[in-house]
Each structure stands twice: as structure tokens, then as C-alpha cells.
């Protein structure tokens, strides 16, 4: 601020001032006057500040609130002092031992479970293989039995003398069949002779009916391959059946069951 005009103003109002005061006093006076004037500018207009009632100002939120106090209670203080550090190391060691013990127990439990599962798998596999082997052996036995068919019956053995019964014969265009009824299973011998052509059968352990014993039975049949049939006792328990045949024929004979009978088939050579 320019002080010279003010000094000129004071000098104009009070002309004796330059004479009464020295230059230093003038300077001090001017400074005091300036300070007084400046103080008047900042003087309160509505009375003293001590008499004014304080205004209720709203509480402004703090941008950086002070940190809250930690809650009371046990806590871990790292590096507070030597005693707390030792306590912390002791707790960590105990926790490490507990973790190792828990891990060992868990490993043991898992090992037992795995061993049980593996054992069960081995047992199940062995049972399955045994069942498959048994089923395969059963199938093989069934296949062998089916390939063999029915078990062979032991050959029947004659039980005693059989009675010779009725004689039957018939022919078709290609063959002639002659049957002799028997009361039981017997053995027989067959032989072919010529002059005239004939085939005879000696039936072992047989006899003629009581009313025909000692007689010769001769029948002309006139079939395709058989001309006559003769039957008579040849010896004790031997009965001979003779078939007179044509020269150009062959024969086959067998004992058929249910009922037992001698079956002779005659036909032309193939």
C-alpha cells in the first residue's frame, strides 16, 4: 500500500507534526496509525465477539477418521517382546505336530480303504473266473453228451427158450419181406444154398407150438422173390425156417424188438 499519500494527508491536517517529531518518531507513528487503521477494518460490526452467541455448526464428516481401537481380548502380537515371540513359536510347533499327526492318520485310513477295495476286486475276479470255468466245463460236458447221443444199451441176453409164432410176408415192386414172431430175444444162424436157391435160418433156443411139434409146415407164397416157406424143428431147441428164393436176389436179416421177431428182407442186387 502507498503510504505517502496518507502522510501527506496527516501533514495537511496537522501541520505541526513534522516539527514535533523526528524522522524515526514519524516512522513509528505512521506504522502505528497504519496498524490501527487496519485493525478498524477487521473490527466486528455487531458488537463484541465475546457477546455473540456461538453458532451451531453442522458436524462435517472426517475424510480420514482416526483408526478404531483394537478390541480387548487375547491376540497375537508379532514382535512385541521376547515372551510373546516364544509363545508364538510354541503354538506354531504344536500346530505343525497336530497337522503331521492328522496327515498320517488320513494316509493310514486311505491306505486301508484302498487295500480293502483291491482285495475285494481280486476276490470278485477269482469268483467270476471260477464261475466261467465251471460254466464252460458244463457246456463241454453237455456238448460231449449230445454228440454221443443216448448211452449205449448193453446187449440183450436171451433168457430162455422162445416159442415160434405166426409167419407174415408181403411184397412190393422192389422187395419181399418175411417176418417170424418170437416170444423172446434169440440168436440165429443164416446160410444160403443153391439147387434150388434157398436161404435157411436156424433159430436157437426156440421150439414149435405144442400142436405143431414134429411136423413140417410148407407154404407156397408166390411172392416176388420168395416161392415157398418151410418151417420145422431141426434139433433140441432149434427151429429151421427155409425160404425158397429166385436166383437173382440178395437178402438181409435181423431181430427186431417190441415184439421180438425175425425180419428178412429180399430184393434185387444193386
Q: With contact defined as beta carbons under 8 Å apart, do 229 and 170 qualify?
A: no
The pLDDT score that the predictor gives to residue 97 is: 82
Does this model's pTM top 0.85? My answer is no
| Cell triple for 265 | 428182407
Residue from 191, 161, 179 nearest 221 by CA: 179
pLDDT less than 50: residues of the chain: 1-2, 7, 21, 47-51, 76-80
SS percent in the chain: helix, strand, coil, step 5: 40, 25, 35
Q: For residue 231, what pLDDT is reported?
A: 92
Residue 141's pLDDT is what?
Answer: 66
pLDDT value at residue 94: 81
Q: Tens digits of per-residue pLDDT, 98-126?
A: 888 889 899 999 999 999 999 988 888 88
First to last CA, the chain: 166
Report CA dihedral (179, 182, 186, 188) to the nearest 10 degrees: -40
Amino acid at each position: 500500500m502507498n503510504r505517502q499519500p496518507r502522510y501527506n494527508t496527516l501533514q495537511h491536517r496537522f501541520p505541526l507534526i513534522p516539527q514535533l517529531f523526528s524522522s524515526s518518531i514519524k516512522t513509528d507513528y505512521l506504522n502505528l496509525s497504519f496498524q490501527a487503521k487496519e485493525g478498524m477494518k477487521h473490527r466486528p460490526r455487531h458488537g463484541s465477539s465475546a457477546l455473540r452467541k456461538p453458532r451451531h455448526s453442522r458436524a462435517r464428516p472426517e475424510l480420514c477418521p482416526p483408526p478404531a481401537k483394537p478390541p480387548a481380548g487375547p491376540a497375537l502380537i508379532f514382535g512385541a517382546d521376547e515372551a510373546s515371540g516364544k509363545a508364538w513359536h510354541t503354538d506354531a510347533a504344536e500346530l505343525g505336530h497336530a497337522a503331521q499327526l492328522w496327515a498320517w492318520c488320513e494316509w493310514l485310513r486311505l491306505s486301508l480303504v484302498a487295500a480293502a477295495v483291491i482285495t475285494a476286486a481280486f476276490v470278485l475276479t477269482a469268483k467270476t473266473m471260477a464261475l466261467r470255468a465251471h460254466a464252460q466245463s458244463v457246456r463241454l460236458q453237455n456238448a460231449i453228451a449230445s454228440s454221443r447221443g443216448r448211452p449205449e444199451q448193453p446187449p440183450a441176453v436171451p433168457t430162455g427158450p422162445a416159442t415160434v409164432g405166426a409167419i407174415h410176408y408181403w411184397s412190393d415192386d422192389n422187395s419181399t419181406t418175411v417176418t417170424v414172431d418170437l416170444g423172446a430175444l434169440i440168436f440165429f444162424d443164416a446160410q444160403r444154398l443153391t439147387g434150388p436157391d434157398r436161404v435157411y435160418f436156424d433159430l436157437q433156443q426156440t421150439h414149435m407150438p405144442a400142436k405143431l411139434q414134429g411136423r413140417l409146415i410148407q407154404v407156397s407164397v408166390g411172392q416176388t422173390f420168395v416161392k415157398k416157406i418151410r418151417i420145422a424143428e431141426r434139433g433140441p431147441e432149434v427151429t429151421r425156417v427155409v425160404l425158397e428164393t429166385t436166383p437173382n436176389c440178395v437178402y438181409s436179416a435181423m431181430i427186431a424188438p417190441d415184439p421180438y421177431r425175425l425180419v428178412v428182407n429180399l430184393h434185387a442186387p444193386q
